[in-house]
Amino acid sequence: MSKYDIIVLGSGPGGYVTAIRASQLGFKTAVIEKENLGGICLNWGCIPTKALLKSAQVFEYLKHAEDYGLSVKNPDKDFSKVVARSRNVAEGMSKGVQFLMKKNKIDVINGYGKVQAGKKVAVTSDDGKETVYSADHIIIATGARSRELPALPQDGKKVIGYRQAMTLPEQPKKMIVVGSGAIGVEFAYFYNSMGTEVTIVEYMPNIVPVEDKDVSKQLERSFKKSGMKIMTSAEVTKVDTSGKGVKATVKTKKGEEVLEADVLLSAVGIKTNIENIGLEDVGIVTDRDKILVNDFYQTNIPGYYAIGDVTPGPALAHVASAEGILCVEKIAGQHVEAIDYGNIPGCTYCSPEIASVGMTEQQAKDAGYEIKVGNFPFSASGKASAAGTKDGFVKVIYDAKYGEWLGCHMIGAGVTDMIAEAVVARKLETTGHEILKAIHPHPTMSEAVMEATAAAYDEVIHL
């Protein structure tokens, strides 16, 4: 039986990062993966979707070339080549992880892993052969998959999840997107930009319901302007796939409506991969589809840990990576601080992009804070005007008493690259006054953070 210091089950952005950090700390490390290195994020999530969205953005530029004084006659796209580019990008990233495994002398074990009692993992290869490995520490990082609702069973052809949405053989003329979280709105934007007629159906009163309401309203305006149909406070009660396409019965406050489309994308959240991986055999405690862990990702059974989507924290790639690093550093005996889950940035890569960290305005009020709120629209930004990307704004929320930066919410071009300023500033307990007096470069999109802060303190110049 092969013996390791650390075995990581799963090689997504949680698993492979954990394995690399473990190796750096001197642990003999192995990672077990049943599909491709990099997991869902690199192969079927974060990375390939961004490649699709970039193609959509370039196509949008071509269609609006005249706005920039340029002439492009009859811009068109080859849908299959757009998909192929996305797959090539994902393949390249997965090969990059293979290189990192070799560089860090990490053993990659291909197969389906199940944890066993006594700090063991049984791995079944594609040919059905089972091999048992042991380790002092076993870290579960098996991630999640598309969640299926009883009313929306996925057949992979007419009712699909995000995997199929990335590799459709041909572009649909009409698409229904159920759910308007990050996955839903990113695919809605992509297909709409490509020329598909898109309808979004959202159960909650606002699209992107976890975001600040002002952000939700702005995205709805932008999406409607681009030709999408938005249905909020709406629920798909049944689907009919017996005909050529799909018919979805949607229940709203006004009654029932039947939508017809070529394909329906179910983007109603994720389901953790915790079934059939041996948790019950070991006695690892779960609750509501999540593995319960402490601040350092230890389960209730010594020697077994869990990180990423399978634990109660936010299901985000950067969170899984941070959890894995903290987990192995704690195992190594380093002094580590528990992650502050109140300072996790969230990013959505539709157009306009969305980025946020901290409390929404409503959450700050509900928490009893007296607040100062500043909002700076990109329509007043010189850089945004020059770039032709005036949709959106930066909104900041400060505690009126001490100046603590409670929340930052952005929607606009490139804001996913801007949110880190707020994350770092909040980590350093920076005040609104310090942000206001920190000189931001002009003209940039990022100076909108300073301008929004100035608005909160009644000192705004350009509005």
Contacts of residue 255, Cβ cutoff 8 Å, sequence gap at least 6: none
Whether 433 is a known active-site residue: answer no
Strand stretches in 273-363, DSSP E:
286-287, 290-291, 304-306, 346-348, 353-358
| 340 touches 352 (CB < 8 A) | no
CA distance 152 to 239: 7
> Cα-atom radius of gyration of the chain, to the nearest Å?
24
Q: Count CB-CB contacts under 10 A for residue 45.
A: 22
- Max CA distance (Å), the chain: 69
Torsional sign, CA 241, 242, 246, 249: negative
**Cα of 58 vs its chain's centroid, Å:** 22
Q: How many secondary structure helices (H) and strands (E) does the chain include?
A: 14, 24
Place of tokens 């969205």: 53
Catalytic residue among 137, 409, 433, 442: 442
Q: Helices (DSSP H) in 167-257: which residue ranges?
A: 182-194, 213-225
Contacts of residue 26, Cβ cutoff 8 Å, sequence gap at least 6: 332
Kind plus residue range of the DSSP H or E element containing 79 = helix 79-103
| 445 touches 412 (CB < 8 A) | yes
Under DSSP, is residue 259 helix (H, G, I), strand (E, B) or coil? strand
Supply the residues annotated as catalytic.
Answer: 442
